[in-house]
Amino acid sequence: MTRYMIILNPIAGAGTALKALPRIKELLTQYGLNFDISLTDYPGHAIELARKAATDGYEYIIAAGGDGTSNEVLNGLMQHKHEHGSFPVMGVIPVGRGNDFAFGADIPVNVDEACSLLASLPRKWIDIGAVSANAESGVLYFGNGIGVGFDAVVGFVAASSKLKGMLSYLVAAIKTIFIYFKPPEVRVEVGDKNFTVSALMVSVMNGRRMGGGFMMAPTAVINDRLFNLVIVSKVPQMAMFGLIGKFMKGTHDGDPAVQTCQGDRVIVTALKGTLPVHADGVTVCEAGQSININLIPQGLELISRITP
């Protein structure tokens, strides 16, 4: 009989995930699914649990939490695939703070609808990204996107907030305007394109949204074999408020401070200053010098409603 492993982060969404657990159990039982549940105890635990579940032969491994939980499960599965050549199908019950990966993969944020999706099992192959800051740090896989500069610092500030959802990121963005205002000079290499810019922010998107509501790449498709890049040049401090509004609406394309392009391999190098970087909200480095980002086309099979 097909088996599901639910990996739930009890502190995701400031406790929202744990509160949702009884309903998740009720719904999955109603659908007649054969499932087990493991709770995470510490950062990185979901990676270990996902690898073990894959080794133990579970056909479907479900991340119940936010973007960090999804990222850890994804990394556990990709590590298992690298070692064994095959891996289970991933699913998501989005009960975290931002749920941006789920949004980009067209997975409903309502618990009842998400569990219904797990029972109906629409399976799609999606692209995956891999980022490395140096040889010692190894590779971190991501499903949604990379943030360099302002965006990364916003994520660091939001992670320490007691607020929930989009509000936590919006408040963090406003705080970061006054904290982070010395953008590094960077070189961004994308295919045959090369940008040198004093960059407030560089976002490398596989999905469409970051921070629970900032539409970084409104037209991105998570299985089109391309990253969508958004590069924002340094602007006067007060102009950043206007940019935040545009990113919330997804209307930033065309702003004179914004450049966009696509590619499947990206290198970002700090020529002056350093690079704070996150991947799916997970810290890659706080003061890096260079990052390499590569696309793995059709790298993960996911329970999702996205169109082929």
pLDDT recorded at residue 133:
87
Tell me the pLDDT tens digit for each residue of 224-264. Answer: 999 999 999 999 888 888 988 999 899 999 899 999 999 99
pLDDT recorded at residue 238:
86
Residue 179 scores a pLDDT above 90: no
pLDDT recorded at residue 181:
66
Tell me the pLDDT tens digit for each residue of 1-59. Answer: 799 999 999 999 888 999 999 999 999 999 999 999 999 999 999 999 999 999 999 99
pLDDT recorded at residue 136:
66
pTM > 0.85: yes
Tell me the pLDDT tens digit for each residue of 182-231. Answer: 889 999 999 888 989 999 999 999 999 998 888 999 999 999 999 999 99
Mean pLDDT of 55-78: 96
Tell me the pLDDT tens digit for each residue of 126-135. Answer: 999 999 987 6
Cα–Cα distance measured from residue 159 to residue 135, given in angstroms and rounded to the nearest whole number: 27
Per domain, the residue ranges of the chain are: 3-121, 140-297
Which CATH architecture is the domain 3-121 placed in? 3-Layer(aba) Sandwich (3.40)
Query: Taking the domain 140-297, which CATH number applies?
Result: 2.60.200.40
Tell me the pLDDT tens digit for each residue of 76-113. Answer: 999 999 898 888 999 999 999 889 999 999 999 999 99
If pLDDT is split at 50, 70 and 90, which confidence band does 74 have?
A: very high
Tell me the pLDDT tens digit for each residue of 262-285. Answer: 999 999 999 999 999 999 989 899
Residue 180 scores a pLDDT above 80: no
pLDDT recorded at residue 241:
87
Start-to-end CA distance of the chain, whole Å, equals 28
pLDDT recorded at residue 116:
97
User: What is the 3 state secondary structure string of the chain?
Assistant: CCEEEEEECCCHHHHHHHHHHHHHHHHHHHCCCEEEEEECCCCCHHHHHHHHHHHCCCCEEEEEECHHHHHHHHHHHHHHHHHHCCCCEEEEEECCCCCHHHHHCCCCCCHHHHHHHHHHCCEEEEEEEEEECCCCCCCEEECCEEEEEHHHHHHHHHHCCCCCHHHHHHHHHHHHHHHCCCCCEEEEEECCEEEEEEEEEEEEECCCCECCCECCCCCCCCCCCCEEEEEEECCCCCHHHHHHHHHHHCCCCCCCCEEEEEECEEEEEEEECCEEEEECCEEEEEEECEEEEEEEEEEEEEECCCCC
